[in-house]
Amino acid sequence: MATPEFIRTIRATAGHQLLLLPGVSAVVFDDEGRVLLGRRADTGNWSIIGGIPEPGEQPADVAVREVFEETGVECVVERVVLVQALEPVTYPNGDQCQFMDTSFRCRATGGAARVNDDESLDVDWFSLDALPPLGEFAMFRIKQAQAEGPTWFETTTER
């Protein structure tokens, strides 16, 4: 996954310290109810599509852009699925990040699923009863995208 230029600029002065960054993920369904997944080039694992907004870019626009850039599939955003602060991660180069993920349910409107950049090894549609092995991140978001109801969020405060 390529590091955006604006983050490289921040890293030039911030070093490896923890950065809180926005992240966007997209759970894309087609008309047959299948979900779009990509097998990530950095880990080899299947997952939903995601990325980082450029400065000033709206999160829903990021979801649409990332889906097309990575898979060749055109989509529209239907709703926010969840908002969640992820656990901090340290990359092999020492950079530390914590992502605030906004996940969207999307509907495919065109294009053909294919590897469309260097971030994916494979891209395909999967029926929900025949998913490849997925991590908790993707599985939870797919589950929430199927559910009707309000946006899911986590809180550590008592209500």
Cβ(82)–Cβ(151) under 8 Å? Answer: yes
**Planar angle of CA 10, 12, 18, nearest 5 degrees:** 55
Q: Specify the pLDDT at position 15.
A: 95
Query: For 23-37, what is each residue's pLDDT tens digit?
Result: 999 999 999 999 999
Residue with the bigger pLDDT between 113 and 42: it is 113
pLDDT band at 98 (very low <50, low <70, confident <90, very high): very high
Query: For 34-60, what is each residue's pLDDT tens digit?
Result: 999 999 998 999 999 999 999 999 999
Mean pLDDT of 7-19: 94
pLDDT band at 1 (very low <50, low <70, confident <90, very high): low
Cβ(50)–Cβ(25) under 8 Å? Answer: yes
